[in-house]
Structure formats: C-alpha cells, structure tokens
Amino acid sequence: MRWHAYVIFVGLAVGTTNSAFGQQINCGPPPTLDQKLQNDESIKGNLQGKAQLLSKYVGQADLGGQIDAVKKEIYTQSKDYYPAQQEAYLNYLFCSIISADTKLSTLEKLDALAKFKATRQQGSSNDQQPCVPTVLKNIPLPNVPTLDGTGNHVGDLSGIAVSVIQECQTPTVPKQRVHLTFAYYNGSGTWRGEQHLILVLKSSEGAVLKSPTFSLDRSRCIYGHTEQRNADDMLEGGIGYLVSTAELTVSRVSGTQTPC
C-alpha cells in the first residue's frame, strides 16, 4: 500500500516568555511510522541529520532549494521503503528543531515551515510538479465605516473580500499574492485628505503573517452608488499557504478634507 505524507499543521503555542524571541510553534505529535522505520535507528538518525542541516538554512534564500534537494534524496534512495512517511517524519523533526530555536523570529519559523510545505512531495518521480494557478483562500469580511479626523462617519466600505491567489511565475514556480476587493461610498461624507486601509493576515493560531497598507483614493465624491475598488500585495516565501483569517481596519482621514 502506498503511503502519503500528511501535512503537519503548525500553530503558535499560547504565550511567550520574551517578545524579542520567536514564539514557540506547536508541531503536533510525531507521525506514526511503519514498524520497519520505527525500529531502524539508522534511518531515523539520518532524518535527524537532514533536519539539523535544513535548520541551518532558515532565513536564507537557499532554504527552498535545500529542502527540495533533501526530499529528492529521500525519494531516490528510499524507493519503496516508505519515502512519504520519511518525509512526514522529517517535517516533524524540522519543525521541532526550529521551534526550539530562540534566535529565530516567529515569522522566520512560519516562513521556513511554509517553504517545507510548498516544496513538492516528490513521490516516485523526480520531475518537477507543474504549477497550477488556484485560489488558496477566500475570506469575506464585514463592512467597515470610514471616519474623518474627528471620528465622524464620512464613508463606508462594503462587500469586502480577501483572496489568497497562487499564480505561476514559470511553469513550475508558483508565486502568491493577496487580492483585496471592496465597494467604496462617500457621497454623504467628505473627499480629499489622506486615508489608509490596513489589512492583517493571520495564521490559524493568530500569528500575524503580513500586514500590508493600501492608500484609499479620496480624490472625488462617489454619489448614488458604491464604486468597486481593489488592491494587491505579494506574499513571499509561500506564506499564502498559512493564511487562515484576515482583518481590515481604516485609518482616520488626515490632512485637508472637503464636504461632498
């Protein structure tokens, strides 16, 4: 029977001892191994060594390439000796090692785990997996009022949705972006001045993955109907796989504003 590696979902453990250090990651229990693997200390020791090696590349640009090379080695050398289970166990070991490393920030740890997940599970083939454009996540959000500098209600954002989109930089290399859409109305409020949208993307355990800021165009008044708007930002290092929830806030208007 062919075994398939399963994804080790990671999240943040509750609380930290020092905000300067990366938060502890919950790697979950170790995956169940076939009895042959469980009793073969040489294989487990080899995987431990590979996990230690990969941990030295966390925060470096070459991490993805190193992960790919290690996975290829597992599948080419292991053949039918449960390579997918070995990959799952390597994932657990890698997560455990970097989770305990207080020199790494939380985002560095999450980025490294995202790259491990994004790097293809090689299966029985050494060919690169074709990139497939897809929407990884759709997140609808509640309406948000827009306020002027003194807190007066001067507009509204409605129909807000956040999408995490995977596109293809090359036939085998994916790239990810976050796409924000909303409808804007300010016909009963004001125009001019400066105002910003702050989008916070979080993991399933509440870790902030990225927080892009977008300028809200207030160059005119929108009368009688809402106007569709959108904004985009790139997601590096495969963090799009980790996005679970999102929050959107709007800053108050600063600078000169004029009634509509």
Query: Which of the four pLDDT bands, split at 50, 70 and 90, describes residue 74?
Result: confident
**How far from each other are the two terminal CA atoms of the chain, in whole angstroms?**
69
Indicate if the pLDDT at residue 248 is higher than 70. Answer: yes
SS (H, E, C) 117-147: HHCCCCCCCCCCCCCCCEEEEEEEECCEEEE
List, in order, residues 6 or more apart from 90 with CB less than 8 Å away.
47, 50, 51, 70, 71, 74
Per-residue pLDDT at 120:
60
Which of 20, 35, 254 has the alpha carbon at shortest distance from 154? Answer: 254
The answer to whether the predicted template modeling score (pTM) of the entire model surpasses 0.85 is no
Is residue 207 within 8 Å of residue 148, measured between CB atoms? Answer: no
Is residue 236 within 8 Å of residue 175, measured between CB atoms? Answer: no
Cα–Cα dist 68/50, whole Å: 12
Is residue 34 within 8 Å of residue 4, measured between CB atoms? Answer: no
The region of weakest confidence among 102-111, 113-122, 195-204 is 113-122
Is residue 12 within 8 Å of residue 206, measured between CB atoms? Answer: yes
Higher pLDDT, 203 or 93: 93
Query: Which of the four pLDDT bands, split at 50, 70 and 90, describes residue 76?
Result: confident
